[in-house]
Every structure is written in C-alpha cells, then in structure tokens.
Amino acid sequence: MPDPALISNPLAFRVTHRLVLSIALPMTLGYLTTPLLGLTDTAVVGQLGDPAALAGLAIGAILFDLLYGSLSFLRTATTGLVAQAFGRQDFREEQAVFLRSLIGAFGLGVIMLMLAPLIWRYAPSLMTDDPAVITATQSYFAIRVLTSPATFANFTVLGYVLGRGQGVLGLKLQILLNGANIILTLILGLWLGLGITGVALGTAGAEVIGMIAGLAVILRRMRGGNRPSRTELFDRRKIGALFRLNGDILIRSLVLNGAFALMTRIGSSEGAVTLAANAVLMNLFMIASFFLDGLAGAAEQLAGRAVGARDRPSFDRALRLTGGWSLGMGAALVAVFLLIGPFVIETLSTSTVVRETAAQYLPLAALTGLTGALAFHMDGIFIGATWSREMRNMMLASLAGYCCALALLVPSFGNTGLWIGLNLFLLMRGGFLALLLPRKTVATFGA
C-alpha cells in the first residue's frame, strides 16, 4: 500500500536504515583515512633523526588544525544549505549554494595568504622558544599555507557532495586526497630526502589534486539548464543568510576548541605526567569522533533534505534512526575502548608512570564515546536544518556549564574532576539542543 505521506507530498522520501548507512559508512571510512597522514608525516620526518624537525612538524600540524578546523564551517554550512535545496528539488539554488560557497572559499584563502606573514612570524614562537623548532615550523607553514584556497575549496566540495547524500563519491574524493598526500609525502620527503619540506610539499600538492578532481566531477555533473543567473548567485538576502550561518558555526567551533584548550591548560597544572596521560587518552575521543562524525553527516543530509522538502515524517524518522545508530555506536565505542584501551596506552607511551596514570582515568575517557554521541547527533540535526543560532547559543551555555563544573569538581577531585567535567560538557551540548528540538521542529514544520 502506498505511503500516504509520499502521495500528499511529492517531495517526501523514505528514510531507511540502508539510506542512513549509505551516507554514514563511506564518510566514516573517509575520516578514518586521515590519521594515516599524521603517521606517515611523523614516520618520514622521524627518519631524519632530527628532534627539532619532528617537533616543528608537530607544532605546524597543530597550527593548521587550529586554523583550518576553526574555518571548517565552509563544509558544514554548505552541507545544510545544499541538503535543503536538494530536498525541495531546487537544482538552481543547489548549484548557487555551491558556487557562493566556492567563491567564499577562494576569498577566505586569499585572506589567509594576506595574514600568512604575521602568522608565520609570531605563531610558532607562541608555541615554543626553541630557535631550531621555530625554523622548522616556519618552513612547514610557509609551504602549506600557499594552498589555503585549495584547502577551503575542498571543504566546499565535500560539503556539496555530502549535502546531496553522495557518500560514496565523498569517500572516493577523500581517498584520492589522503592517498595522494601519503604518496607525495613518501616520494618528496623520504625518497628525495627533502624531509619536512617534502612533507609540506606533499600535503600542498595533494590539496591541489583533490580540488581539481572534486571540481571536475561536480562541474561536469551540474545541469547546464539549471545554472543560476548572476542575479541569483549574488542575491544579497541569500548571501547574508550564508554569512550568518557561517558566522554562527565559526563561533561554535571556536568555543569548542576553547573548551578543549581549557582542559589542556587545567590538566597541565596537575603536572607533566598527568598532562601526558590526558594527551594519550584524548586519542580515544579523537577516534570516537571519526565514527560519530560519519553518523552526524547522515543526520545533516537527511534533516536538511526533510526541511527542504517540508517533510515532517521523514524528519522525525531521520531523527530516530540516526539517533539510534549514534547512541548504539557510542555504547559500542565505550566497550571497545575499555577492551583495547590498555593496548592503546602502551602503544602511545613508553613511560611506566604515564601508562599507570592513563589507565587510572581510562573508564572516564572511554565514556566520552557515549556522552559525545548525543552532542554529535544533535549538531548534525541542527546543522542540516540550519538552526545555527540556537546551536551557537547552546554551545555558549554548555561552555558556561562546563566552567562551573570544573570550578566545582577539579579542586576536590583533581584530574578525575576534569574528566567528569568533560563528559558533562558533552552531555550538556547534546542535552541543551535536544530540549530545543521540539520547539524548533514545530516552528519549521508546523504543529
């Protein structure tokens, strides 16, 4: 018997477990290729036997993670807006969103290049006072920053692909980008003996290759008859909406980075051993984020598509299915981390005292897989629905709650209180958004 919702709304669509996984699994696999880059870069530079070069690489990588991670709103904003245009089958606006975001990506890249001399001069010295390490960091930065426009364009490409629910294409592009990065790094950094310069050239070259391939695929598939006019492309109202969305997501990202920086800062007051143990355990949360991000990507696409189609039943079902998979994944991650955690700790540290300290806090670190599940899921729903103002405000509220929790817990419980505070922060992120969800759903779809 035909689904009544599909008859009453021609844009309605069925949300199934298979549809959810067809988006989530390829994106998860794509994200999981990313850690291979860090391992390859470290291995190549490590062959030089120069501690300064290895330290410079680490600081350079952190610097770009902060810069590019904070500016990843290009990907998320594009995903939400493209998903909504895709849901209402507005192919002209779908292409217009992509082109607006691409123009913004290149503009942001130019701004990054203009600021590069200042960052090159001052940022490394804020992170180390070793002249040899500063020189190595500056060498790495000077090369990688040149391809910032390509990096930001790749954010837009991935956002567009994910917004259309093309998870397999997204995986192929991620494999191409990361695979080219690894191959070029090995050739330039190791075989040609260029060291950290070769690593930077390899990463920069891969970004350009990824951009060219992504743009070639997308522009070839775009329907010529649906190309937006110049007036549509530069519609001031829609450009303003894009800027507001990007701004809200940027603030949210900066607050999130600030929360993790605060944990590191407070952890450092517990001593070098505790700080090292926390750094080891944060790798578990990083691993969890790769899996939860894939499901959050599915939530973004399906929620955005449902909002664009004005399809409340599909939105509700997408909410339930992606939420169920996220919470199930979070619970599974806790179990896996408790099982393999001791092995991970032994692999990442050779210090007996660091290993013992990390093992003490392993259960609380493993718990972040579950407490973070709702946060990632709600972020995906709100990004897809482009409810960015509420997401920004709840992130700020969560940060305030996190600071209060740390002020109460850390003086009494030390590092245990710090990990409890992190778990509470993740719960607040997801919980606050979940409380707003019914009201926002009614406002968007009607009662």
pLDDT-derived band at 127 (thresholds 50, 70, 90) equals confident
Give the C-alpha separation, 106 to 159, whole Å: 15
Average confidence (pLDDT) over 137-157: 95
Burial 239-275 (b: 16+ CB within 10 A, else e): eebbeebbebbbbbbebbeebeebbeebbeebeeebb
Residue 227 per-residue DSSP state: P
Compute φ and ψ for 192, nearest 5 degrees.
Answer: -90, -5
What pLDDT shows up at residue 378?
Answer: 97
Average confidence (pLDDT) over 214-222: 90
Report pLDDT digits (tens) over 226-254.
788 888 888 889 888 888 898 999 999 88
pLDDT-derived band at 1 (thresholds 50, 70, 90) equals very low
Q: Six-digit token pair at 26? A: 């390829």
Of 35-44, 107-116, 238-247, least confident by mean pLDDT is: 35-44
Torsion of CA 224, 225, 230, 235, to 10 degrees: -120
Q: Is 431 helix (H, G, I), strand (E, B) or coil?
A: helix
Report pLDDT digits (tens) over 347-372.
777 778 888 999 999 999 999 999 99
Give the C-alpha separation, 329 to 335, whole Å: 10
Residue 128 per-residue DSSP state: -
Give the C-alpha separation, 20 to 343, whole Å: 32
Rg, C-alpha atoms of the chain: 22
| Confidence check: pLDDT of 305 > 50 | yes
Give the C-alpha separation, 84 to 444, whole Å: 12
- The answer to whether 98 and 155 have CB atoms below 8 angstroms apart is no
Looking at every residue in the chain, the average pLDDT score rounds to 90
Report pLDDT digits (tens) over 136-145.
989 999 999 9
What pLDDT shows up at residue 36?
Answer: 67
Percentage of the chain exceeding pLDDT 70? 96
Contacting residues for 276 by C-beta, under 8 A, at least 6 apart: 349, 351, 354, 357
Q: Is 4 helix (H, G, I), strand (E, B) or coil?
A: helix
Q: Which of 299, 331, 329 is nearest to 167 (CA)?
A: 299
pTM: 0.90
